[in-house]
Structure 1
Amino acid sequence: MYKENPNSTLPENPNTIVWKYLDLSKFLDLLLSQKLFMSRSDKFEDQYEGTFSEPTFEEIKKLSENNPEFLDYYKSKREKVIISSWHINEYESFAMWQIFTQNSEGLAIQSTIKRLQNALIPEKNYDQFIGEVNYIDYKKEYIPFEDAFFPFLFKRKSFQYEREVRIISDVSSNTIAINDGLKINVDINQLIEKIYIHPKSENWYKKLVIELVDKLGFDFEIEKSDLESDILI
């Protein structure tokens, strides 16, 4: 289970469908280790990850005039916040396949908000939260910073297509070495409701995925991509 964060929001319906698109190697690592990889926030492609909007930065600069450590604290925090990103969508997304799988040998995990919550296994050294990302104009809009996670639950409007929900943890109170990220314990059977195989994959690959999942002792549903449907004329 995870800890509620009163300052983060989630879709009202706990059965809201979420997706993670990934390559076969990362999927197998998830099944074999039964651990979910959480990326270090400053390693994301978006260089603005965990930073401030301009109005927020101006306010924080004023607050840190006589206390430079205040700003330094937020700068260093990016190295100690870890994130697992999921995409809200009732259906598969062609764009997500294109962005997050490098070739035709990818998979998509289908889950729900409730399943994510139930899949998290409590960690002794840090809390885990789940929140929906807000997409704003970083030049004009203000990000409230009453909460330690505030910059990590906001992104620029250019990323609105991601419709992101995040599992997020702050490990700054620990001496854990996280390098590019950290693996956290999860209940795989709760985490994964279904697996969808890449729409451009070949039959041998589909059979391989089915065989690997079976040999590893899992029985979640494996679906052919809806984007692979036969053309009707």
Structure 2
Amino acid sequence: MYVSNNEISQPEDDTIVWKYLDLSKFLDLLLCKQLFMSRSDKFEDQYEGTFSEPTFEEIRKVSDNNPEFLDEYKTRRKNVVISSWHINEYESYAMWHIFTKNNEGLAIQSTIGRLQEALGPENRYDQYIGEVKYIDYKKEYLPFDNNFFPFLFKRKSFQYEREVRIVSDLSDHNLNINEGVKANVDIHRLIEKIYIHPKSENWYKNLVIQLMQQLGFDFEIEKSDLESDILI
């Protein structure tokens, strides 16, 4: 379901989203039929799950009379897990460079509607989908009347990510979460199309096609044309 609030953008079901990943992570997704969701405090950005300065000042006033209030927010970061996706009508050259290496890797093309269907009601975790809003953490207020808000806001420096997130709060599951958890997912609903790295060799594309055939998947596979020959 979506996180519903005026502060959070809600993409339409037909909004195109992408996930860029290497072959090993892609195969893990296919073989396990589970989507890896990273623990929120394991992301490179140390501000994940934290608050902007104006919000923190307000929270600090509240916590003066209730010290457990702030501790609860700090603990929640260890129990919230996230799967990040990139919103874009087209491929992103920048995302290829950031999330893949050695001219190898893949991009899963999907939609918001497909993500919702793929997660499904049978999943053991409750997931919430929200588009990340980018704000000035020194000046702008970040609402804290919803547990998911700290994980759906990021600093403006990260606007290039154009991120939409699947978020789960596993605080009530009594889990010892190390790097993250795997959530059940319907692979066929999740994946609409697969793109191969634009700078990859032909053998790499053939390898991916062969692996898909051996595993019994018939996804549409296409090599990215970002590096196609010029016409002049």
Q: Scaled by the length of structure 1, what TM-score is found?
A: 0.96
Consecutive unaligned residues in structure 2, runs of 5 or more: none
Q: Which residue number corresponds to residue 85 of structure 1?
A: 84
- Mapping of 1:74-223 within 5 angstroms? 74-122=73-121, 126-223=125-222
Aligned partner of residue 158 in structure 2, secondary structure: helix
Quote the Cα distance in structure 1 between the aligned partners of 2:32 and 2:153.
31
Aligned partner of residue 64 in structure 1, secondary structure: helix
Deviation at 1:14, TM superposition (A): 1.4
Q: Which residue number corresponds to residue 10 of structure 1?
A: 10
Quote the Cα distance in structure 2 between the aligned partners of 1:114 and 1:140.
34
Deviation at 1:125, TM superposition (A): 5.3
Quote the Cα distance in structure 2 between the aligned partners of 1:194 and 1:146.
38
Quote the Cα distance in structure 2 between the aligned partners of 1:100 and 1:40.
18
Preserved contact between residue 122 and residue 128 of structure 1 (Cα < 8 Å): no
Quote the Cα distance in structure 2 between the aligned partners of 1:113 and 1:6.
15
Q: Which residue number corresponds to residue 44 of structure 2?
A: 45
Count of matched residue positions in the alignment of Structure 1 and Structure 2? 230
Report which stretch shifted further, 171-180 or 77-86.
171-180
Deviation at 1:102, TM superposition (A): 2.1
Deviation at 1:122, TM superposition (A): 3.2
Aligned partner of residue 226 in structure 1, secondary structure: coil
Consecutive unaligned residues in structure 1, runs of 5 or more: none
Q: Which residue number corresponds to residue 31 of structure 1?
A: 30
Deviation at 1:226, TM superposition (A): 2.0
Q: Which residue number corresponds to residue 61 of structure 1?
A: 60
| 1:62-112 deviations in Å (ceiling 9; x for gaps) | 000011100000011100000000000011111000001122121000001
Coordinate RMSD, CA, aligned: 1.2
Quote the Cα distance in structure 2 between the aligned partners of 1:22 and 1:119.
18
**Residues 125 and 115 from structure 1, CA distance in 2 versus in 1: closer, same or farther, beyond 3 angstroms?**
closer
Quote the Cα distance in structure 2 between the aligned partners of 1:47 and 1:223.
36
Quote the Cα distance in structure 2 between the aligned partners of 1:228 and 1:194.
19
Quote the Cα distance in structure 1 between the aligned partners of 2:160 and 2:9.
18
Report which stretch shifted further, 149-158 or 123-132.
123-132
Quote the Cα distance in structure 1 between the aligned partners of 2:139 and 2:149.
16
Q: Which residue number corresponds to residue 71 of structure 1?
A: 70
Preserved contact between residue 210 and residue 222 of structure 1 (Cα < 8 Å): yes
Aligned partner of residue 64 in structure 2, secondary structure: coil
Aligned partner of residue 38 in structure 2, secondary structure: strand
Which amino acid is 1:104 matched to?
A: N
Deviation at 1:142, TM superposition (A): 0.2
Quote the Cα distance in structure 1 between the aligned partners of 2:125 and 2:213.
34
Deviation at 1:177, TM superposition (A): 2.2
| 1:115-166 deviations in Å (ceiling 9; x for gaps) | 0111103366541100000000000000111111110000000000000000
Preserved contact between residue 125 and residue 174 of structure 1 (Cα < 8 Å): no
Report which stretch shifted further, 114-123 or 210-219.
114-123
Aligned partner of residue 144 in structure 2, secondary structure: coil
